[in-house]
């Protein structure tokens, strides 16, 4: 199921969307819906993660120095 929504965008962005639609053989509506879907999913994830982090901070649930050192060592090993 879908619905129609009107969005105002700058002329230059509309032209770029039209070129992209032509080169990908997709409709402007399809590309715009995909962009909005990805934007919403990313921002929902960021909000969930921020809320979880705040909940942990409020509960004084912080990583220990040992946990931080172990993580730093892991990153160092993986970058080699």
> What is the pLDDT at residue 53?
94
More confident site: 62 or 44:
44
Count of residues making up the chain = 80
Q: For tokens 């997709």, what's the residue?
A: 26
Q: What is the pLDDT of residues 4-44, one digit of tens each?
A: 999 999 999 999 999 999 999 999 999 999 999 999 999 99
The pLDDT of 39-51, averaged and rounded, is 98
Does this model's pTM top 0.75? no
């Amino acid at each position: 199921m879908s619905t129609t929504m009107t969005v105002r965008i700058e002329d230059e962005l509309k032209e770029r969307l039209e070129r992209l639609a032509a080169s990908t053989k997709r409709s402007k509506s399809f590309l715009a819906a995909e962009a909005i879907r990805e934007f919403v999913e990313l921002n929902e994830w960021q909000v969930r993660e921020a809320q979880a982090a705040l909940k942990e901070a409020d509960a004084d649930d912080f990583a220990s120095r040992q946990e931080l050192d172990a993580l730093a060592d892991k990153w160092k090993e993986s970058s080699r």
